[in-house]
């Protein structure tokens, strides 16, 4: 999307990062750049307003529910297992301690 006006930051770039802006997940300099664009660009500000209302609605309607601890633990365990499997890392715990084995493969690319 573009409003047709020239801005320091392109409209599509701002709209792609609007949720990062809403969630305060971008650094201060990026936040200032996005805020400056929103101040100058009415179409992006309108889109930001819709996203902000949607975020507020989601927080109000869905924010009170928390996943059970058992589910969180199962998810963490599955994520850990998947990451280790794809990284070709083996972790074994025994009476003598924990052993970690990492298999590496060197990949060279020609340009």
- On whether both 52 and 85 belong to a single domain, the answer is no
Please report whether residue 4 resides in a domain: no
Please report whether residue 21 resides in a domain: yes
Which pairs from 49-54 meet CB under 8 Å and 24+ separation? 51/18, 51/19, 51/22, 52/22
Please report whether residue 42 resides in a domain: yes
Q: Higher pLDDT residue, 61 or 44?
A: 44
Give the mean pLDDT of 28-48.
89
- On whether both 52 and 87 belong to a single domain, the answer is no
- On whether both 81 and 52 belong to a single domain, the answer is no
The model's pTM is 0.48
- On whether both 54 and 19 belong to a single domain, the answer is yes
- On whether both 49 and 74 belong to a single domain, the answer is no
pLDDT range class, residue 22, cuts 50, 70, 90: confident
For tokens 């101040």, name the residue: 39
Print the domain residue range for 84: 69-102
Smallest Cα–Cα separation from 43: which of 82, 12, 88? 12
* pLDDT for 82: 77
| pLDDT tens readout for residues 58-111 | 878 777 667 788 998 898 888 877 766 666 666 778 888 878 776 655 555 555
What DSSP designation does 105 have? -
């Amino acid at each position: 999307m573009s409003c047709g006006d020239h801005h320091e930051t392109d409209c599509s770039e701002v709209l792609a990062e609007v949720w990062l802006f809403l969630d305060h997940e971008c650094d201060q300099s990026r936040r200032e750049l996005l805020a400056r664009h929103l101040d100058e660009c009415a179409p992006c500000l309108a889109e930001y307003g819709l996203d902000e209302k949607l975020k507020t609605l989601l927080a109000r309607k869905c924010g009170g529910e928390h996943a059970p601890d058992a589910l969180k633990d199962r998810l963490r365990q599955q994520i850990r297992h998947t990451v280790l499997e794809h990284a070709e890392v083996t972790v074994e715990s025994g009476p003598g301690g924990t052993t970690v084995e990492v298999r590496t493969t060197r990949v060279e690319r020609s340009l």
